[in-house]
Amino acid sequence: MERIIPKIAVCPSHALAEGQCRKLKMLFEGREDECLLLHFDGKVYAYINRCVHMPRRLDCEQKTVFDHTGRYLRCSMHGIVYTPQTGTSVSAMCEGDQLRALDVYEEDGEVGFADFRVATLSC
């Protein structure tokens, strides 16, 4: 029997502009967590807001998660840099390690989660 995963709408597509990131509090795998929802190169991506180097939020010391070029995600504590498309670290430290990705969708003018590990969320 195929598992049906419910979709959880987060926001209208126009509310998440290209190069923009939104932070969402959520229940993920039974515990409270924070997610980064971003729109980059025409696609929507989502990651748990936790650096692979140390379990700290990427924006723990600065309000932004993008680096100064806007091309990479960056941990403000140690400077670990990740590609927005895969969440893979391109820094020498932690090279190849990946942020924890979430299944997201963008369709019919809506952005949301299609991930069975997400139970509830709040903006």
> Which tens digit of pLDDT belongs to each residue from 57-87?
999 988 889 999 999 999 999 899 999 999 9
Range of the domain at 31: 1-50+100-123
Phi/psi of residue 46, nearest 5 degrees: -145, 140
What pLDDT was estimated at residue 27?
A: 87
| Domain count for the chain | 2
Same domain, residue pair 32 and 75: no
Percent of the chain whose pLDDT exceeds 90? 71
Q: Are 23 and 50 in contact (CB under 8 A)?
A: no
Same domain, residue pair 21 and 4: yes
Same domain, residue pair 42 and 62: no
What pLDDT was estimated at residue 104?
A: 94
- What is the Cα–Cα distance from 26 to 102, expressed in whole angstroms? 12
Same domain, residue pair 79 and 108: no
Q: Are 113 and 104 in contact (CB under 8 A)?
A: yes
**How much is the pTM?**
0.90
Same domain, residue pair 11 and 44: yes
Q: At 43, which CATH number? A: 2.20.25.680
